Amino acid sequence: MPSKYLNFAAVYRKMDEIETLETIPAADQTLLGERLAIACVAQESQQRRREPLENREYLAQTRQRKARKIYLEVLEKDPYLFLAFILTFSPRVCDRIDSRFFQQHRERKIFLSNDANLLLWQIAIKHGIDRTVHFRNLMRSIFESRPPVTGAEADGNENCSLDMCDLSAIRIAFGDKICDAIERSPTHLSKKLTGHFSRTTQCIQTKVPYDGYQDTIIRLDVGAALELADLLFPLASRKIESVLSALPPSVHKLSGSEGSLGPGNTDMSFSSEIDFAYFTLRGASVSAMVSVFGADICEGIENSELRTWEREQLLVDTTDCITMQIWRAQPQHGIIHLRIGFFAGVNLANKLYYDGCPSATMR
């Protein structure tokens, strides 16, 4: 390798050292803070100065801007290499990086301890970069950040399952759109045709966990599912409508398969040989929630453990606190799953099943 290029053996030695210790070496922690601040500083914090810079200061800022671009390129290509890279190569030498390094490098995962996690957060807070997108991306990549679980999702004796409630209570709690959709669901219409349970419905099920103040899960059986999907999942809904219109009537039948649509899934080239029984939609529009659900439900979603975790991951515009399954067969009915905070779930259960419908069943 020509002498003007850097010897990358040093960065791999540093990576080995971090892997052995499962954290950042004590001697490198101050330097790491300085380099992280260069790489992860928010763009809006880089304000222009009115007075001219001295040549030395101008040169330093120019080097930092160039280094930042290279640091972020490494972060994108291999987050596990990123820490060792910024510790090894200063802004002064970043312009000597051989581009062939990125072509030859092979990603290697390393394990970092909980102490390393805490240390990185402390360093980030100290330098004011803890809420920047690049630092959050780094932490999500090298520490698997998983959404909180709830006992309401489990089968068995971990939750209190409630169903059979009065439609008037549903209308008060959820609003007109949801109540109207429930009244149009196949489950409710089939019961209504028999002349029984006309004022009550089994189209809503609430599961409140017994342990740990975890989130409550609500299941809603609705008709006119595409109309609700247009509001909550506008992009995915349009793709579903396009796919449904292109399919021949002969494949509009039920099966046990599933197609999944979310914010990151844009491949809708489904084979006609595969019979998808329903589509699963994730990543509901946060701004659209209030147009579909009542204010109390929206507040319950915002106060849930899952929504709190999503905000910490900078997932501001969409939420998996609302997911939806839409059946492909006509009529396109659906199931909405809501996840709200524990106390909101308890209050909702009291309104729906005890105040609104004393004959509610508990399992």
Write the secondary structure of 77-139 as one string of H (helix), E (strand) and C (coil): HCHHHHHHHHHHCCCCCHHHCCCHHHHHCCCCCCCCCHHHHHHHHHHHHHCCCCCCHHHHHHH
Tokens of 61: 């800022």
DSSP code per residue over 199-259 = SEEEEEEEEEESSTTPPEEEEEEESSHHHHHHHHSHHHHHHHHHHHHHS-GGG----SEEE
Residue 293 has a CB neighbour count (10 Å cut-off) of 24
Q: Are 138 and 72 in contact (CB under 8 A)?
A: no
- The whole-model pTM stands at 0.63
**CA distances for 233 relative to 131, 165, 180, 194, 316, angstroms:** 27, 27, 19, 34, 15
Q: Which residues pair with 278 in a beta bridge?
A: 258, 327
Q: What is the pLDDT of residue 44?
A: 45
Q: What is the pLDDT of residue 290?
A: 94
Mapping DSSP to helix (H, G, I), strand (E, B) and coil, where does residue 339 land? strand
Q: Phi/psi at 8 (nearest 5 deg)?
A: -80, 0
Name every residue whose Cβ is closer than 8 Å to that of residue 18 and which is 6 or more positions away in sequence.
24, 25, 83, 84, 110, 112
Tokens of 162: 């409630």
Query: CA dihedral defined by 290, 293, 297, 301, rounded to 10 degrees?
Result: -60
Name every residue whose Cβ is closer than 8 Å to that of residue 121 and which is 6 or more positions away in sequence.
130, 139
Alpha-carbon 267 to chain mean position: 19
Tokens of 31: 């330097």
Q: If the chain, 363 residues long, is cut into consecutive pieces of 10 residues, what is the mean pLDDT of each piece?
A: 58 94 96 96 54 68 90 92 95 79 81 92 94 90 84 81 90 94 87 69 91 90 93 90 70 45 40 55 95 94 95 88 89 91 94 65 55
